Structures are given as structure tokens and as C-alpha cells.
Structure 1
């Protein structure tokens, strides 16, 4: 049976920690790159997506649900 050394165990832990740090740093950057790439494919001016004659309604100016009652003075 091969003998196990503490040095090998700590090297293994170091490699796992390094891979986790690289994953935490590179994964958000990869997500941003993919997001930009996909959005550039979706917003192609030569082939518009959807109905170009549709008029978008403006967003809500007031909240539909009111958590606090509005005083009469406002």
C-alpha cells in the first residue's frame, strides 16, 4: 500500500483553492462576454426582432400597490 504524505494533501488543497479562485474570477467575466455576444446577435439592425410598427407604451409613473397611505396634502 502506498504511503500518503501531508505534503501531497496540502498541494491538493492548494490546487482546489486555486481552481475555485479562478472560477470565481473568470466566471462573471465569461458571463458578461456571453451576454454581450448574445445581445449583439439579438439586436441585429439588418434583421429586426418583433413588429417594427408596434408602439411601446410608457412605463408606470405611479406605483400600483401603495404600502403607505398618501396624505391629502400631496
Structure 2
């Protein structure tokens, strides 16, 4: 997954940070909902690390996207 500084990222696609903010969640809340640490979210949002999810975590992310009124198809192949 790309970091947020990637010049190839499409500004028309939401970042995970935008999804989190649209849900009105803190990094801690978003991380807990997905089943990862808040440090992982923080590192991903700053571009320090790529986000790697298990299948269960990915399914939960999909549910959160739907709660935000979005589809998994709204995300780019490389989530920034």
C-alpha cells in the first residue's frame, strides 16, 4: 500500500484517514474497530508503514466503509 506522500495517489480517492474522520473516530477507536493497534493506524497515516490486514480485519474495514456511506470500490488499489 502506498504512503500518503506518493505522487501517484489519486486525490479523488479517500484515504483511510478520511474514512476514519468521516466516521468521527479517533485513531484509537478506528484501530480498535478493525482489530489493530492505534500505533499501526498512526504509522500508516504518517506514511511510516504500510497497512497489512488479515482477512477478518479487511472485512471489518469493509463494514466501516459501508457505515461511512462508501464502498470498498471507492478505495484505490494502493490505499494512502
TM interval, shorter chain, is under 0.3
TM-score of the pair, normalised by structure 2: 0.21
Relative contact order: is structure 1 or structure 2 higher (C-alpha 8 Å, sep ≥ 6)?
2
TM-score when scaled to structure 1?
Answer: 0.23
Look at both structures and tell me which one has the larger radius of gyration over its CA atoms. Answer: 1
